[in-house]
């Protein structure tokens, strides 16, 4: 510490923030507030930490989620004042827990004597996030409490966050005065003396590590027999890093099996004889198929059609590989689970298996997929009428290497998973699929953009954008291209694809919920560019232009409410499918 703190509050706050920096935290997302003053000033003074400020704690939590995702799930801290400011973090905390994002929640609080007595802006904060975050509640700063206890508590909170791949909560009560006095008799040197070499070093007080390198023998014992087969299916869910994406791609080539790659896998845009895209329109396999092994790598899959196919197909082995301990087995058919690093396991498997040969089993469904890709491309040429599917198809063709694509929930992610045309782009694809809500989508995408060197594209529906509208403020300092493709069908278009659409009287007011709004004035208020493409050709031209322009823009695609459901129904119809060579389907 170059300058000694002039209050006990300041000392505790500086110790906490310094230890977080030593543990690898480089980004702190904070909202203004009084009770958090000691921690805010400590963040501001620390040379290794970048602070991000937002006035809305709910959006702030999702922004921090996006920063962590953009950094490959590095730990990110969120700092708030007391009261309902803390409660506003809950949706982001739930999403982070479900999607294995390491958020550290630093919440300032009132001291114990102000609890349960009617004191202003005071709620019960310890364990407020329930099962979604492990909580450690610190005492009020006290000279009788060793600073080593403070350090080891912070160390354990971060270790548990990293080990469990989920949020950790440190509740930090402070008594006033909250701002450090200019002149003070407080002398921290006696308290600091017990820290010894920590003061001069750069390592955390307690160094923790999880050793989880997979051994060759363990892989041989667990799965190699099940993978050394001809008729297998590789299903790839969400992956976290470019290293995982490349490792699983190489694994797929070594196995030689058909590959169904989810849009969040990073492999959805890959071309090659093994990839089976567009399975959400028509599964490229027969329901009579019997697989020797179905190998699922990564997170859950988006497509309900593919999940139903997996539920109905038979196989001798069902194997799931993931670094996370939560169960991914909705049909309860898994025979083996591997809790291990994906890259390490893939490397071992590739070394153990002989190179695959292209055979009849490997080509199951290939012609069907190629036929669908051609039909999709033809149906949505630039001369076709403006539509949500058409926009998604052209967007998939216009995306370039090195950028980030963020997909909102509801129809946005489903359409991209269903219709994207593979072009061998290398893209990081993100979404909030932990709890799959439509809240905080724009804020999370803004967080991703904050740490992404290149353009960011957000595909989002009208209700999700309305839900998070004030997060447009997070884009004011954006220096890279940030294109918001807003699919505005005036309500919840996805409900047109569900049985509830037949409830004629209740459907419009309770499910469609038409709002009659556009985003022109919101864009102006927040200083965001705004365009309304009138055709697919217009959309392609505007997207190509803004993809190289710094700063944010909204491309609002205005389409009829029921159009997307009709388009998908038409593509799934027998008439559209009749030219497919059925002999290509095993």
- Give 79-120 pLDDT, tens digit per residue: 999 999 999 999 999 999 999 999 999 999 999 999 999 888
Please tell me whether residue 416 adopts helix, strand or coil conformation: helix
* Per-position b or e across 342-363, b if 16+ CB within 10 A of its CB: bbbbbbbbeeeeeebeeeebbe
**Other Cβ atoms within 10 Å of 514 Cβ, number:** 12
In 496-562, alpha helices (H): 504-507, 520-525, 536-546
DSSP state, residue 138: P
CA distance 491 to 461: 9
Domain with CATH 3.40.50.970 in the chain: 8-198, 368-574
Tokens of 481: 């291209």
At the second CATH level, the architecture of 216-364 is: 3-Layer(aba) Sandwich (3.40)
pLDDT of residue 525: 97
CATH classification (class only), 368-574: alpha beta
CA nearest to 10, candidates 122, 136, 177: 177
pLDDT of residue 358: 67
CA distance 284 to 339: 30
Residue 563: C-alpha distances to residues 330, 377, 490 (Å): 31, 18, 11
pLDDT of residue 572: 85
pLDDT of residue 298: 96
pLDDT of residue 429: 94
Cβ atoms of 484 and 407 closer than 8 Å: no
pLDDT of residue 288: 67
**Other Cβ atoms within 10 Å of 370 Cβ, number:** 16
Note every long-range contact of 567-574, with CB atoms under 8 Å and residues 24 or more positions apart, other chains counting.
567/387, 567/388, 567/389, 568/281, 568/389, 568/418, 568/497, 571/281, 571/375, 571/376, 571/379, 571/389, 572/281, 572/282
Tokens of 70: 């953009």
* Predicted TM-score of the model (pTM): 0.93
Please tell me whether residue 554 adopts helix, strand or coil conformation: strand
Tokens of 158: 């971060």
* Below-50 pLDDT ranges, the chain: 580-586
Tokens of 503: 């409830």
pLDDT of residue 287: 66
Q: What fold characterizes domain 8-198?
A: Rossmann fold (3.40.50)
């Amino acid at each position: 510490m170059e300058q000694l703190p002039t209050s006990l509050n300041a000392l505790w706050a500086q110790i906490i923030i310094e230890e977080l920096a030593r543990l690898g935290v480089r980004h702190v997302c904070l909202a203004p507030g009084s009770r958090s003053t000691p921690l805010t000033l400590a963040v501001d003074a620390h040379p290794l930490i970048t602070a991000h400020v937002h006035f809305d704690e709910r959006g702030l939590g999702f922004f921090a989620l996006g920063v962590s995702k953009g950094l490959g799930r590095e730990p990110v801290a969120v700092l708030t004042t007391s009261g309902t400011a803390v409660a506003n973090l809950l949706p982001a905390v739930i999403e982070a827990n479900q999607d294995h994002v390491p958020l550290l929640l630093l919440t300032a609080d009132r001291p114990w004597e102000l609890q349960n007595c009617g004191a202003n802006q005071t709620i019960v904060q310890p364990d407020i996030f329930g099962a979604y975050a492990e909580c450690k509640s610190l005492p009020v700063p006290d000279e009788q409490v060793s600073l080593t206890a403070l350090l080891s508590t912070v160390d354990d909170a971060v270790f548990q966050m990293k080990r469990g791949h989920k949020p950790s909560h440190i509740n930090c009560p402070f008594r006033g005065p909250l701002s450090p006095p200019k002149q003070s008799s407080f002398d921290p040197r006696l308290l600091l003396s017990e820290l010894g070499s920590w003061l001069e070093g750069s390592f955390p007080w307690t160094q923790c590590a999880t050793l989880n390198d997979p051994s060759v023998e363990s892989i041989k014992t667990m799965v190699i027999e099940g993978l050394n087969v001809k008729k297998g299916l590789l299903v790839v869910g969400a992956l976290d890093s470019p290293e995982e994406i490349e490792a699983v791609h190489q694994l797929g080539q070594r196995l030689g099996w058909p590959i169904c790659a989810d849009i969040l896998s990073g492999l959805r845009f890959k071309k090659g004889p093994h990839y089976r895209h567009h399975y959400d329109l028509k599964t490229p396999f027969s329901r009579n198929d019997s697989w020797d092994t179905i190998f699922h790598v990564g997170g859950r899959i988006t497509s309900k059609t593919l999940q139903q196919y997996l539920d109905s197909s038979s196989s001798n082995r069902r194997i799931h590989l993931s670094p996370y301990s939560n169960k991914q087995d909705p049909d309860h058919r898994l025979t083996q689970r591997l809790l291990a690093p994906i890259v390490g396991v893939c490397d071992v498997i590739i070394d153990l298996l002989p190179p695959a040969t292209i055979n009849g089993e490997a080509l199951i469904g290939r012609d069907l997929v190629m036929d669908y890709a051609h039909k999709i491309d033809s149906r949505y040429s630039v001369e076709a009428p403006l539509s949500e599917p058409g926009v998604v198809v052209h967007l998939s063709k216009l995306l370039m290497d090195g950028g980030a694509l963020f997909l909102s929930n509801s129809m946005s992610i489903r359409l991209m998973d269903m219709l994207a045309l593979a072009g061998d782009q290398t893209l990081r694809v993100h979404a909030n699929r932990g709890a799959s809500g439509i809240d905080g989508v724009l804020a999370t995408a803004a967080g991703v953009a904050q740490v992404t060197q290149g353009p960011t594209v957000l595909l989002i529906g009208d209700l999700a954008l309305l839900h998070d509208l004030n997060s447009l403020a997070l884009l004011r300092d954006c220096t890279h291209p940030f294109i918001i493709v807003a699919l505005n069908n005036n309500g919840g278009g996805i409900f047109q694809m569900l049985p509830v659409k037949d409830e004629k009287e209740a459907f419009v007011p309770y499910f469609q919920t038409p709002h009659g709004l556009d985003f022109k004035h919101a864009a102006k208020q927040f200083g965001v560019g705004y365009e309304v493409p009138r055709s697919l050709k217009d959309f392609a031209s505007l997207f190509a232009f803004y993809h190289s322009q710094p700063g944010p823009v909204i491309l609002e695609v205005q389409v009829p409410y029921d159009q997307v459901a009709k388009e998908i129904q038409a593509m799934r119809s027998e008439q559209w499918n009749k030219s497919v060579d059925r002999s290509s389907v095993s």
